Amino acid sequence: MHKVDESSSLLNKKKVSCATNDYHQHYSSSLEWTESSWTRFLHALFWWWIKPMLYKGYKQQLTTDDLDGVPQIDKALLLLERLSSYDWSSTTTWRIVYKEFWKDYVFASILIIPRMITSISQPLLLRQILLNIMNEKGSNTASYMYAVLLFISAPALMFMHRHSMFRLGRIGGRILNTLTMIIYTHALSLKSVSLKEMNTGQVINLITNDVSQFEELCLYLANFFEGIIETIIIFILLCWIMKPIPTLCGYALFPVFILFQLYISQKFSRYHEITVIRTDKRVEAFKEFINGCHIAKMYNWEKSLGDRIVEMRDNESASIRRASLYRALNMTIFFMSASLFALTTFGSAWFLGYPLTIDNTFPALALFSVMRVHAMYYIPLAIEKLSVIKSASRRIDSFMRLTMKQDNQSRLPMSLINEQEKGNIMISNASFSWHEDTRFLSVSNLTIKKGALVGIVGPVGSGKSSFFAAILGEMNLINGLLNTNNSSFAYAAQSPWIIEDTFRNNILLNRPLDQQRYRYVIHACCLDDDISIFGPIEDRIMIGENGFNLSGGQRARVSLARALYTDADIYLLDDPLSAVDRKVAKQIYERCLGPFGLLRNKTRLLATHQTEFLNETDQIIFLSHGHVDQRNCLNESIIRENNSNENETSKLVSLLDDNISIDNFRPIVTDEKLIDDSSMFSTLYHLCSAPPFSKNGFCILIIVLLLGEALNSGSNYWLSICLKQSGTNQQISLKYAFIYFCLIIAAVILDVVRTNYYFTIIINGSNSLHKKMLRGLLHASIQFFESNPSGRILNRASKDQYVIDELLPVTLLNGVKALLLTLGSLFIICFIDKSLFHVLLIIVIGSCLITYFYQRCLRRFKTLETTTRNPVYALFSSSFDGLPTIRSLKAENSFIQLIADRIDKRTSAYFLVQAASQLFSITMSIFSSFILIVTSVRIIQSHERVEASTAALRLMNAMFVSLWFQWALRELSESDIMMISAKRIDEYSRLPSEEDRGGHKGLVKASSEWPTEGKIKFRNYSLRHRLNSEYAIRDINFCIESGQKIGIIGRTGAGKSSIFKGLFRFVHRSCVDGEILIDNIDISRIALNHLRSHISVIPQQPILFSGTLRYNLDPFNHYSDEECWKALADVQLKQFVSNHSAGLLMSIDKSGKTLSIGQCQLVCIARAILKKSKILLIDEATANVDQETDDIIQAVFRDKFQDRTILTIAHRLHTVARHDRILVLDRGTMVNFDTPANILHSYY
């Protein structure tokens, strides 16, 4: 084993010693307390440790606060240590898991041996009872003794089986948690360049699907070996009971079945691998839509994005359908194996003239049933899982072998690294790349001195962000030297990374609070006023994911404050001032970066297009096309030009002096709504009656299921008739044998048909639920996405969808078939002895009451387990978006601790579900065993008056009931729990649509050319974001004439974006007063898709979707290639795109990571040029571009948008200085609305 340096450095810091925990902490888990002493053996045997939670779960819904602790041995951090020293580059996930956990697994499997002995003993006890009652001299006492042993064996078998399954499941849970932790830890150490090879959707799929395969295999692998050993033992017993030749003939099917199942497993594995790849793409597309929902709705692109996801889902479901064909064959072999073994064994014995008697056929049939449960069920499943595990292991291996972030100065001799010169940067003839050895950034010779303020400037796409990435080690160093002298870094990314947490912790990022430095940082980043309006909770206010309830400027300042809070040697600040107004930008510069700023003695690298802040720099680095300009300076005339611009508008800047944000800062992230624990039958009905078969298809399914069981039970009943007919010569007539043969073959054929038809029905239902969920999300309001973290939504699109695609169909079918076997057996017992009907009815009613109690608890436990799973996925998703920030701030360990705590919560809930499920099975086994004892006693009492064949049939069916009844209820209970996933998906299909059809006034039909003038009028308009919040804008009244250009100014959060939200109708009409008229039509009465499709927008934060550049320009193919090229030329991107071999079809990564932020913004402007709407909304469109490009864009605006009505939100005031009018907002109210000259004059 070799150490993996980067991962080990993270793990070694997080080691947890059990010895340091006090007694109370050590036994914070009731399970751990139970296992801590042998004197509590009964607590463990009868699962008493879970009873308090059962009673509580029955009475009320549970929350995470009700969860018990996790045993120390199951804690995520301790599990992580177990794999910390392995090197994935020289081995595989499968081998590592085997090497680390095989001893635990063997120990957990010990109970399999006595369980196997008990299982095989039941048919032998049946044979002894039959021999005793058929023997005229047989003793009733002995028969009763055998009956009691048979009665005891059933619950004893279940006790051992369920404890074994819990122990094996616990090992599986450890493996799942360990792999989840190691994947997350490895992700934290990956370079950004490595993550381009695997997107977030693929990584989410690793922990939702691939890692889960190891957990599921643990439940089957031990039973796989048990099944093989059991098959050998049963073969020996059958040779004794049925003679060797018929047994060999019957067993000839066994290798045929195994070979056939191996073939099936290979085919299944192939299609499953295809399914996983397609699922990755679908989940990633969901994540893109969720993260870009604002953009999708602004552009009215929901249909285009929805069609993409539907197409991906169709491809995914096609591979699921093909895999289900092979799974159906596997399940048919399982359920019909006992009948087929019986047919070949009894048929060969009949053909060869061997005697077929009651005392050998029915025990043999019972032994074949034992084989069916273990050998024919677990062996195929284990083979299937092993084939799937190979693919899952390869995918995990591929991820674990991605290049980790390593110090680019590792190529330097240690003699060149001077610890005393921390803060210095030296680059010599260095080349960096994003993709393999393709050079993207070149720096010949560059030295940055300690304590210097360095400006990084250059046109859009010149490589400014890549320059920072290279220094941070996020890019590949192809050649040359980079020496940072082991300096520490703090990094503020150009796109602010905000997590779902408190305002304070978004700055601290789980680090200790230094109150004094925290206050300095808050003041330096101009966040004092923002915190003051949060109310009594101040900076403990919850911030939504991606900062939904913060303005763009506030997000930028929080990101900057996070970097400043770190006491680092070098600060890398990527354009932090572009999202704030000029006054705030100047204050931030003076308080943070200037000669008297907080960082005055630190090395500061500032990438910016606002070159007026470069006057006091010690050094300016000019980048162009991925190269450092040899002059190593910036033309000073540009700085002087910007200064003059600033002086010209200085009076206008003063308008914003004392404005404070009044945006709504109430917590917007809501707790996840718990699914009600009512019956899931309605959801199941919708699942099984989905188009195209609908209700008729569901009825046909019920008929074929019942008919299949009738044939199966009928064959056993006919066998008893055959044995009765054979009489003393023990030979069955050809006619009777032929009928038995036909019944078995018909049952097999019908089972193949009904199983395949069932999977078709379920997959149709799964697709229907998926489409409804997608439709619900596409038309949900923005408030829904703001109040629900992306991990919560992705959990439904990934894990919940996986459950109803892969797990639910198999479990439900097993439960239904087992229930039908139980009902068939009960029918035969009551048909032969009607006096048992009342007794069996009482037992069934009692079983139903027990089932109701446990099912109520299990649903609530499972809902809680699902709820605890969401934060794990949410943290995975959000962490990936901020990896460079996490690494630069050395916050990896705190995030490892955070994910470990969330996994421990999930583990605690998982133990609840598993323990309750096992206890339910044991309880039901004890209860159903009474059917066996009642039937046995009844047969023994009346054996003189009853035919031996019917007595044997009743006793065998009673054994079947004791076995299949509890199994059916358990599988159906598991299905019911899994139906929570279907119900959760169905819940999203019922989300309120943001389209309200015009409210009580109804819709007004507007022409396809509307609006023809572009006239906008706000009349007494007020807006608040939620019903329980204050108004963001109040009593706004102004009119914009056709073709006018309006600038909107105001301090960050003053209500500027709320104007745009009102125009796009992002807020429900109940939160709006007054009206907005466009061309004299109330927009609240225009269909949403019509409204948004006729308004163009250039957003502040540009978001592109994965696909081609052309798709991101024109997803509906409304425009020709020539028009697209023309639009790109207008925004200075034509040359860049032409240089790419694919041209317009060049690939765009998720969120447009292929391009720089400035280039993404230019693409958004090109969209607006293509879409010739009369109204254009611009939200600081040029914030991320250089001055030269800004001037070009302003010229494009004047030329291309001359006849359009334009509303522009501005932070840089010169961008609206030439507009017709300026709207000044303060605290959500309209302060002024006049020409720039008049506004300037009135405040002069």
Report the SS3 class of residue 994: coil
Range from 404-418, 615-629, 866-880, 887-901 carrying the lowest mean pLDDT: 404-418
Give the integer Cα–Cα distance in Å for 1184 and 459. 10
84: left (phi over 0), alpha (psi -120 to 50) or beta: alpha
pLDDT over threshold 90, residue 777: yes
Q: What is the pLDDT of residue 630?
A: 55
Contacts of 708 (CB under 8 A, 6+ apart): 747, 750, 751, 754, 820
Burial class (CB in 10 A: 0-12, 13-18, 19+), 844: middle
What is the radius of gyration, based on Cα positions, of the chain? 36
- When pLDDT is averaged across residues 35-48 and rounded to a whole number, the result is 87
How do residues 1216-1225 score in pLDDT, each as one tens digit? 778 899 998 8
Output DSSP code: residue 1102: -
Residue 1220 vs residue 670, higher pLDDT: 1220
pLDDT over threshold 70, residue 23: no
Q: Which domains does the chain possess?
A: 5-16+75-403+676-989 (1.20.1560.10), 418-485+487-634 (3.40.50.300), 999-1242 (3.40.50.300)
CA distances to 262, 323, 503, 596 from 267, in Å: 9, 7, 52, 70
Give the integer Cα–Cα distance in Å for 474 and 193. 6
Q: What is the pLDDT of residue 164?
A: 92
* 293 CB neighbour count, 10 Å cutoff: 23
Q: Which amino acid is at 521?
A: V
Interior CA angle at 808 toward 983 and 396, to 5°?
105
Burial class (CB in 10 A: 0-12, 13-18, 19+), 815: buried
Q: What is the pLDDT of residue 679?
A: 60
How do residues 315-328 score in pLDDT, each as one tens digit? 999 999 999 999 89
How do residues 444-480 score in pLDDT, each as one tens digit? 888 899 999 999 988 887 888 889 888 988 888 888 8
Q: What is the pLDDT of residue 1237?
A: 82
How do residues 1048-1058 score in pLDDT, each as one tens digit? 987 666 788 88
pLDDT over threshold 80, residue 60: yes
- Tokens 């992705």 belong to 794
- Tokens 């991107």 belong to 1133
Contacts of 293 (CB under 8 A, 6+ apart): 782, 785
Q: What is the pLDDT of residue 1151?
A: 67
Q: Which amino acid is at 669?
A: V
Q: Are 138 and 131 in contact (CB under 8 A)?
A: yes
pLDDT over threshold 50, residue 411: no
User: What is the pLDDT confidence band of residue 17, given thresholds at 50, 70 and 90?
Assistant: very low
- Of the candidates 577, 565, 555, the residue with the CA atom closest to the CA atom of residue 661: 555
Give the integer Cα–Cα distance in Å for 285 and 289. 6
How do residues 780-795 score in pLDDT, each as one tens digit? 998 888 888 887 888 8
Q: What is the pLDDT of residue 18?
A: 37
Q: Which of 259-268, 588-597, 676-685 has the highest mean pLDDT?
A: 588-597
Q: Are 635 and 457 in contact (CB under 8 A)?
A: no
Q: Are 808 and 886 in contact (CB under 8 A)?
A: no
Give the integer Cα–Cα distance in Å for 1220 and 1040. 10
- The stretches of 299-444 forming alpha helices (DSSP H) are 302-352, 358-373, 375-400
Tell me the whole-structure pTM to 2 decimals.
0.80
Give the integer Cα–Cα distance in Å for 727 and 1027. 84
Give the integer Cα–Cα distance in Å for 717 and 589. 90
Burial class (CB in 10 A: 0-12, 13-18, 19+), 489: buried
How do residues 1137-1187 score in pLDDT, each as one tens digit? 998 888 999 988 876 677 877 788 889 889 999 988 899 998 877 766 677
